[in-house]
Amino acid sequence: MNTAPSSPKATRDRAATERAILDAAKQVLVEQGFTCFGVNAIARAAGCDKQLIYRYYGGLDGLVDALGTELSHLFGEQLEFESSRPLENYGEFVEQMLLALLRTFRASDLLLRIAAWEILEPSPITRRLAETRGAALMHWVRSMRGDLEPPEEMDFGAINAILIAAVQHLVLSAHATGGFGGVPLDSDADWKRIEAGLVAMVRAIYPPSSLGGS
């Protein structure tokens, strides 16, 4: 690793070091998982001393906070560009939301890891991550929904929770074991099946034909 004996950092740049630590935190989370997420591993990945994590971020908690804000921005950016074509009814909105969510989770290992972390360890650290992520998601969904109203005769809150939970879990399970249950989830064709299933379900639940406002 070190050619020169004890190379004391090429340049002295606090901002760059802070960023290196933050990037290292993401890297460790993605590549090693949250069980290895600690000052030692992060400092090792960042190529600096762990003391700097305490000095610059006030320990792991502060670092996670910084990572949380970084994350909400990333979440917003990844999702933003999807809502292009105008939506005609509530079912179409749900459909597009689910597909965008699925692709976003599939594309970002970091988001995935953090979502998993939130589920597994209800620690105060993950609470803040969950809140910031949830807020970003909420904001995005609202901006996407526009003024479309859900049909009143059904509990769309529960139904949407079910659908979103399904998307999240399938991506998580696929990432861990390459599938869910007996269904393989690896190739794009596999995911096309899921997408088609989601669309079919949404259309069955929110039929586009019956445009009943109120």
Interface with DNA (CB under 7 A): 6-9, 11-14, 16-17, 36-41, 47-52, 54-55, 59-60
- Output the smallest distance, CB 207 to DNA, in A: 52
Per-residue tokens: 203: 């259309």
Q: Which residues contact 45 (CB under 8 A, 6 or more apart)?
A: 24, 27, 28
Residue 147: CB atoms within 10 A of its CB come to 4
For a second copy, give the closer residue by CB, 18 or 118: 118
Per-residue tokens: 184: 């393989």
* Residue 13 binding target from DNA, a second copy, none, CB below 5 to 8 Å by type: DNA
Q: Residue 211's Cα: distance from chain center in Å?
A: 33
Give the footprint of a second copy on this chain (CB under 8 A): 33-35, 116, 118-122, 127, 130, 134, 137-138, 154-155, 157-159, 161-166, 168-170, 172-173, 176-177, 180-183, 193-194, 196-198, 200-201, 204-205
For DNA, give the closer residue by CB, 41 or 170: 41
Burial 45-55 (b: 16+ CB within 10 A, else e): bbebebebbee
- Output the smallest distance, CB 162 to DNA, in A: 36
